[in-house]
Structure 1
Amino acid sequence: MKVISIVGARPQLVKLAPIAAAFAETEHEHFIVHTGQHYDADLSDVFFDGLGIPDPDVHLGAGSGSHGTQTGSVLTKLDPVLEREKPDWVLVYGDTNSTIAGALSAVKMHLPVAHLEAGLRSFNRRMPEEHNRILTDHCADVLLAPTAKAMDHLSDEGLKDRAVLAGDVMVDICLRIRDAVLAGEHPAPALPEGIDPERPFVLATLHRPDNTDDPQRLAAIMDSLAKLSVPVALLAHPRLVTRAAEHGINLAQGSVHVGRPLPYAGLVAAVLASSAVVTDSGGLQKEAFLLERITTTIRPETEWVETVDSGWNVLVPDPHEMSPDEWAATVSRAAPTGAPGTPYGDGRAAQNVVRIMEQWKGGSRRV
């Protein structure tokens, strides 16, 4: 069986690591295409180096641009690769422009598509990720759902016959790296200057368009972070840096100390060292949950509802609309009693994915 994995953004590279390891244990051919959607080395190269992922077989170099430009670039460059390689499966990951481009290129060539992390829904159509995940689910041949809730969403949309509960591959890699960090197998993370890992601090990330594109909203969010009484380690995504510069907003203000995005092991170590997390990232919400750190998510909704239902995550759409005391109390609240449970699986999702693709070889709608 020949499988082509199409990846291009940081979260997909993290998910690729356990999948690549699982395929390496088989006789199947696993071919990796990197679209280049994330072209910054902090969001791409360090993950291949740090997670032991094989080098990509093809790098498309799509780069940045509007959603249409980026998606179109991946489609244009991917078509000849799929035509040449003729895989048994095209495996797409998550909800980025690389995901939908990979799915569209494959289905138009009548190549079976498997969607990893299928069935997630935020029900916020303003999010480009929501468009990508819905469209990909409806054109894919097998839907590899990470959770029971994701299976419910797929059933509600008439996709039950193509859906299989595989578990979440992020659990596989997060728990493996957690154990290695706790065993001292990774160096201390490169936290922003002024952050003492031995003292309480909040780890923060911010990158979504709804939070960064409007200058007034971004300024208000940064003001809320700056007024926290504990230091804030802001790992600044390139999008945030660019938008802040365009808006004339200083990120390093008040309690906020600015640093660069971290390699995955460094991020896990930083979460473990932190007292709390503030983010708008879907991946970091879940990673903090798995690492048992309270999280405050600056969004009105989340696709990872289990993190909220358990009390480990709280949604705050507009922190600047809360009083400083209320905001500080939310960010620094006590952790729920008891373990968070295992709604995302037992850490063997990658092996499940390989097994399911073996069983469904040829796709669910083979003609």
Structure 2
Amino acid sequence: MKILTVVGARPQFIKASAMSLEIAKHDGIKEVIVHTGQHYDSSMSDVFFDEMSIPKPKYNLHVGSGSHATMTGKMMEGLSEVICNEHPDWVLVYGDTNSTLAGALTAKKLHFKVAHMEAGLRSHSMHMPEEVNRIVVDRISDLLLCPTETAYNILSDEGFDRYPCTYENVGDIMLDAAFYYQSMAKRPLELRLFNSDFLLCTIHRAENTDQKNRLETLIAALYSVADHKPIVLPMHPRTQQALLKFNLSFDHPNIFLIEPVGYLQMLWLLTNCDAVLTDSGGLQKEAFFFHKPCLILRSETEWVELLDVGNHQLVNPENTCMIGMLKAMQNAAGQYESALFGDGKCAEKSIELILNWSQN
């Protein structure tokens, strides 16, 4: 059996690593990895393949940045040639990026089976390009691998029982990765002398970086938090470009800007921080895995179950005292039910489903 894995963005490299480890246990399965080049900066791409021992991509499409239409079109053009050349039994896609959409659409138009990891997520905001990608990819996939019971129920409510597909709750693939790599966590070099309690912050989404007023407001809100506690902020290339474009900066003595970090360094930050402030979908979950309160710097989240446990809250920097919210969450007992995202055996269950489908 041959599985063609399509990745293109930082979170997908982490997810793919856990699946690759499981695939390697099966002599009868060959994996071919295609990197679309959606994240092409070495700090957001190469470092993950190096430090996590992920098999190197056989193909790199080098798509780079551009509009959604341009990127997706270039990816589909490149993937069409690759898929026809490799003729895989399955095309495996992750999450909700343009790489995910391109991989699923291309495979389906060429009549190859598609497995979608992280199926069934919904933020219920069609203004998010990721939401459009999720809905389209779910609808055309043959095997939908849901990370939570909530995601599974969403597909049931949307009538997926009527479609010629299979959907199952296998748990979250990022929990597999967190379990496996936690003991390998490494302190970022910039923080080798850093011993203070700190908050971990990441910012990269378009809704926070593409408009000057929004980014200014967010910076001011983080200043108010940094007045009380240090913030460590790995600088995403997209955010850095936005700061240059709008002539803005993070100029606060208690905000420590560092270069983008690899996954093992992020695990160290998660393990040692007091709480997380982020607009990242993946980091929201990882904060939960490591029992850290999290302020979600967005107006909605696809991980809606996190809002029900009391450790995570959506926040609007324009009218909310974020430091007060953080203190309230830290003082509360909170719930960190590991079963919410499965048992760390998502990859094993997913491969079993793929093998069973093929045998039937």
Pick the TM interval, shorter chain.
over 0.9
Aligned to 2:345: 348
Contact 1:192 1:257 (C-alpha < 8 Å) held by counterparts:
no
Residue range with higher mean Cα deviation, 337-346 or 132-141:
337-346
Report if the CA contact (8 A) 1:201-1:230 is conserved: yes
Q: Deviations over 1:54-93 (max 9, x none)?
A: 1111111111111111111101111111001111100011
Write the distance in 2 (CA, Å) between the matches of 1:283 and 1:224. Answer: 22
Partner of 2:177: 173
Deviation at 1:232, TM superposition (A): 1.0
C-alpha separation in 2, matches of 1:176 and 1:150: 24
Choose 252-261 or 107-116, whichever is displaced more: 252-261
Secondary structure at the residue paired with 2:189? coil
For 1:133 and 1:144, how far apart are their aligned partners in 2? Answer: 12
CA distance in structure 2 between the partners assigned to 1:163 and 1:280 by the alignment: 28
* CA contact 1:122–1:130 (8 Å) conserved in 2: yes
SS of the residue 2:73 aligns to: helix
Residues 1-367 of structure 1: pairs in structure 2 closer than 5 A: 1-27=1-27, 28-160=29-161, 162-178=166-182, 180=183, 185-191=184-190, 197-228=194-225, 229-253=228-252, 255-316=254-315, 318-322=316-320, 326-333=321-328, 334=330, 336-337=332-333, 340-341=336-337, 342-361=339-358
CA distance in 2 between counterparts of 1:289 and 1:207 reads: 20
Question: Do the aligned partners of 1:112 and 1:362 also contact (CA within 8 Å) in 2?
Answer: no
> Structure 1 residues 191, 293: CA separation in 2 closer, same or farther (over 3 Å shift)?
farther
Q: CA offset at residue 251 of structure 1? A: 2.3
- One-letter code of the match for 2:355? E
User: Offset of 1:361 from its aligned partner?
Assistant: 2.4
CA distance, structure 2, for counterparts of residue 190 and residue 131 of structure 1: 38
Counterparts of 1:303 and 1:129, CA distance in 2: 10
Conservation of the 8 A alpha-carbon contact between 1:213 and 1:243: yes
Return the offset for 1:254. 5.0
1:155 partner SS:
helix
Q: Distance in 2 between matches of 1:213 and 1:128?
A: 14
Any conservation in 2 of the 1:279–1:296 contact (CA below 8 Å)? yes
User: 1:155-208, CA deviations, whole angstroms, 9 ceiling, x for partnerless residues?
Assistant: 122213521111111000112222x0xxxx443223469xx6422211100111
Q: 1: CA distance between counterparts of 2:50 and 2:286?
A: 20
Look up the equivalent residue of 1:359 and give its one-letter code: N
**Relative to structure 1, is the Cα distance of residues 73 and 362 closer, same or farther in structure 2, using a 3 angstrom cutoff?**
farther
Long gaps (5+) in structure 1: none
SS of the equivalent of 2:358 reads coil
User: 1:301, 1:30 → 2: CA distance?
Assistant: 35
Once the two structures are TM-superposed, the CA of residue 339 in structure 1 deviates from its matched residue by 5.1
What is the alpha-carbon distance in structure 2 between the residues aligned to residue 287 and residue 211 of structure 1?
21
How many residue pairs match? The answer is 352
Judge which range, 73-82 or 326-335, deviates more. Answer: 326-335
TM norm structure 2: 0.94
Whether the 8 Å CA contact 1:192–1:234 is kept in 2: the answer is no
